[in-house]
Amino acid sequence: MPDVAVAFRGITKRFPGVLALEDVSFEIAAGSMHALCGENGAGKSTLGKILAGVHTADAGEVRLFGQPFAATRPEHALAAGVGMVHQELAFCENLSVAENLCLRALPATGPFLSRAAMYREAESLLAAIDARLDVRRRVGELTIGQQQMLQIAAAVGHGARVIVFDEPTSSLSQHEAEKLYELMARLRERGVTGIYVSHRMEEIFRLCDTVTVLRDGRHVATEPIAALDTGRIVELMIGRKLEQYFPTDHGATTGEERLRVEGLSSPAGFRDISFSVRAGEVVGMAGLVGAGRSETAAAIFGLDGRATGRIVVDGRPVVIRSPRQAMRLGIGLVPEDRKRQGLVLSMSSLANTTMAILPSLARLTFVRSAEERAIGRRFFERLRVRAHSLDATAAGLSGGNQQKLVLAKWLAARCQVLILDEPTRGVDVGAKAQIHALIAELAAEGVAVLLISSELPELLHLATRVIVLRDGRIVGEVPRVEATQDGLMRLMAGVA
């Protein structure tokens, strides 16, 4: 087997209005785990999709184990030994595990589907990665982690020698991520070459041998992971030194109480939640998956009609039964799932930015478009949104830029209470640093911020105090000066 599994030579790819990749060249050693890093929009996923046959390059050449390779469809790539585990899962959720795994070529006896043969083939594919799943079970009933195992089973079972992993842990619990790490280790033992696209530095240093950094669609560096540290990779990604990855003090002076919640409870999974947030304060909320954090945020924003309790905004008791009422009170919510809950992906970036303030921009039935575009440009510049124009659809932006659109919407609305639910999930380190700086700016401007995050370092550096939820109840409130990662984890897990 050649020492080089994949060689990219001068790869260039254009999309309408965007040069996604420009003259990218580097090599990936056979049997290695090779990290692909860069800010959102740097071209990482695009390069992986070119290799996997999802996209075709406009210029350049790919060589696979020394031979010219140009797949025009994913099935062609898989037949040649290249598979991909996509960040966005694409299964027929109403079909069974077996039906999804065998969908490319369903076993048949004459004109009839042979279910027995289909089940045997599906079980064989799962056995190839030591996965145990009921092949008759509907895919829609599986966890995200189990669905990702199906993608890997399909790739390995069909003979993939190279697998592209595109942000594989972005939606996984820690337990599911550990299972994936174990599987990847077994694949390496079999000689499978992995290309690992991720923003998570701890994963890259744990799993990978080599790292390639892309910036603005260009190749910046390919280095052994042992020769680098996190700071150096970040510098390569963003093109400048990042002196402070997390701000340690946003310099805000706390003012009057903006939001008070008393005895908030709901069948959605939380009870007797009480806390307050003052102007200029960042209050963190920590908890394990299922602790009730997102459900609490949704109730405050008027998305839970069953919630009971008392909410006070600017000293006045209020009843919030809809997001419209919350917005009128100056409350905004950046939800944890930006694609399903925070954006209308088919609409333009400008429309997503101004949708919360359209009534103020309307004259009779017409929107004052010049004023709307001026607002859009202002917040695009402030948040450094990378899009070829204000009219670019939200669906075509990278994850980090989509998140900036959600934030821009609430900045345009001038919210005085901003609830941020996992605001940096799935964004690169450069975008994360920008969002952290923005949170500090908002606090300094007097906005009351409730920050929900699963990243404890984020809470420890940004929040003035951290509220901890477990099983739907508050089990502790810790000032920043007393908070430690270990202490918060113990409260979250209920360990003395």
Kindly give the pairing relationship between strand 448-452 and strand 417-421: parallel
Kindly give the pairing relationship between strand 417-421 and strand 218-224: unpaired
- Assess whether 75 and 157 both reside in one domain: yes
Kindly give the pairing relationship between strand 465-470 and strand 282-286: parallel
- Assess whether 194 and 323 both reside in one domain: no
- Assess whether 322 and 450 both reside in one domain: yes
Kindly give the pairing relationship between strand 67-69 and strand 59-64: antiparallel
Q: Other C-beta atoms within 10 Å of 364: how many?
A: 4
Give Cβ neighbours of residue 14 (< 8 Å, ≥ 6 apart).
20, 58
Rounded Cα distance between 24 and 21, Å, is: 7
The domain of 83 spans 4-238
- Assess whether 197 and 261 both reside in one domain: no
Lookup: tokens for 183: 């599987």
Output the pLDDT for position 336: 86
Domain presence at residue 124? yes
Rounded Cα distance between 290 and 288, Å, is: 6
Output the pLDDT for position 88: 64
Output the pLDDT for position 93: 83
- Assess whether 409 and 322 both reside in one domain: yes
> 255-292, pLDDT tens digit by residue?
899 999 999 999 988 999 999 999 999 999 998 877 89
Domain presence at residue 247? no
Coil vs helix vs strand at 370: helix
CB 266 within 8 A of CB 457: no
Tokens 């990278």 locate to 398
Buried b (16+ CB within 10 A) or exposed e, 63-90: bbbeeebbbeebeebbebbbbbbbbeee
Give Cβ neighbours of residue 47 (< 8 Å, ≥ 6 apart).
8, 11, 21, 24, 36, 214
Output the pLDDT for position 244: 47
- Assess whether 207 and 263 both reside in one domain: no
pLDDT along the chain (496 residues), means of 10: 87 85 96 89 89 94 95 90 79 86 77 85 84 87 80 80 86 75 88 90 91 93 93 80 52 83 93 96 90 94 95 96 95 90 92 91 85 93 87 86 92 95 82 88 94 90 94 93 88 77
- Cα 108 to chain centroid distance, Å, stands at 40
Report field, pTM of the whole predicted structure over 0.75: no
- Assess whether 283 and 232 both reside in one domain: no
Domain presence at residue 229? yes
CA 226, 227, 232: angle at the middle one, nearest 5?
115
Domain presence at residue 416? yes
What CATH number did the domain enclosing 201 receive?
3.40.50.300
AA identity, residue 59: A
